[in-house]
Structure 1
Amino acid sequence: MAVDEKKSRSFVSIVAVKVQGVTEPPELLNMRIHMHIIRCHLRAPRFFEPQGRKGEREEKMSTDVGFSGDETAPFFGFIGASAALVFSCMGAAYGTAKSGVGVASMGVMRPELVMKSIVPVVMAGVLGIYGLIIAVIISTGINPKAKPYYLFDGYAHLSSGLACGLAGLSAGMAIGIVGDAGVRANAQQPKLFVGMILILIFAEALALYGLIVGIILSSRAGQSRGE
């Protein structure tokens, strides 16, 4: 052992002298060489690991993560569900507030027409239900523990939520403006009531188009895994 140690020290001292004029002590250089060998050994891939043990480790890692598929895909799905509900409720809130202001102003002079002029408020409130339906459909479709959830599914749910939410927002703005002006005009000319209802129906149809397209897009979510 003493002879081997002496040989290794002499070898290290020779290396220390020949490598670009290194003046470190042989013991310190020997320690650095051993540390470098250990680092290389730790970084080296395990080529001879048994296949069964490797499969068990991968299975354990997938179980620890808690779901299968792309890790960022649920982010887009949840954003789509939130967008469907938030934008639809924004449109419903604007339509309700704008129409409610018109109903309140008209009710001061013609209180008997208040219940008849409440139609725009009701139609604006329905827009929030459309967003709620799409949000529930999307949220129930995001279950990575039961089935894989890929980026295709997340993008489909995101587009579904945006289609329904933005359509509901635009419809709510139209219903609010038409309802405010319509109930005021109806107080002065009752014959305008039927025309106001028709305009409100066509404005409501915009949100209905968004709901239909949102349902179709959300149903495309499972096609990436062959469902």
Structure 2
Amino acid sequence: MASLPEIACDPSAPFFGSMGAAAAISLGCLGAAYGTAKSSIGISAVGVLKPELIMRSIIPVVMAGIVGIYGLIVSIIISTSMKPATYPDASGYIDLGAGLAVGLAGLASGMCIGIVGDSGVRAFAQQPRVYVTLILILIFAEALGLYGLIVAIVMGGQKPQTGSFKCVTSN
């Protein structure tokens, strides 16, 4: 009967996984918050001039919120995969990288959505034909966060599978 391969499972490995989960949710929500706040400034300006356009102008806020959901998804995936007794070093590093990938992509996406949303809804208030272009630009900005989510999920699939190895701790 073949024995299981031995993999290093340092007690500090869950720290790196936890930092990945923290980076995913905190940076993703930071991007979502910035996108929401920045877009809301433009929406407020539109509401003063043309209150009938407010509901069509909240699209950037909705899209910014989705960026935070990407971070939440990856954070939950990382957190539920961590079992400290059988959590190898490689998994900790991969989870840290996955969390940073989705978190930083979400931060960039949220910043882009906020800037485009602010100026876009103001332009929409002055010229309604700008609306379709605004939505397309926001979709491309949202795609940046989606790219981070995809990379994080692919990275998570590269981790050693639980039960197919034996953990050894280095002293």
TM-score w.r.t. structure 1 length? 0.67
Residue 195 of structure 1 pairs with residue 139 of structure 2: no
Question: CA offsets, 1:164-222, max 9 Å, x none?
Answer: 00000000000000000000000000000000000000000000000000011112122
| 1:112-151 to 2 correspondences below 5 Å | 112-145=52-85, 148-151=86-89
Distance 2:163 2:119 in 1: 51
Larger CA deviation: 136-145 vs 93-102: 136-145
Task: Report the identity percentage.
Answer: 59
Report if aligned partners of 1:153, 1:224 keep a CA contact under 8 Å in 2: no
| 1:1-227 to 2 correspondences below 5 Å | 69-145=9-85, 148-222=86-160, 226=164
Distance 1:226 1:218 in 2: 16
Report if aligned partners of 2:11, 2:84 keep a CA contact under 8 Å in 1: no
> With CA pairs under 8 Å and 6+ residues apart, which has the higher RCO, 1 or 2?
2
Q: Matched residue of 1:221: which SS?
A: coil
Distance 2:94 2:162 in 1: 10
Structure 2's unaligned 5+ residue stretches are 1-7, 166-171
TM-score w.r.t. structure 2 length? 0.89
Q: Matched residue of 2:9: which SS?
A: coil
Q: Matched residue of 1:220: which SS?
A: coil
Distance 2:144 2:160 in 1: 27
Distance 2:32 2:62 in 1: 9
Report if aligned partners of 2:42, 2:117 keep a CA contact under 8 Å in 1: yes
Distance 2:40 2:98 in 1: 30
Partner of 2:4: none
Report if aligned partners of 1:150, 1:224 keep a CA contact under 8 Å in 2: no
Q: Matched residue of 1:114: which SS?
A: helix
Q: Matched residue of 1:115: which SS?
A: helix
Q: Matched residue of 2:84: which SS?
A: coil
CA RMSD of aligned residues (A): 1.5
Aligned residues: 158
Question: CA offsets, 1:92-135, max 9 Å, x none?
Answer: 00000000010001110100000011100000011110000000
Displacement of 1:225 after TM fit? 7.0
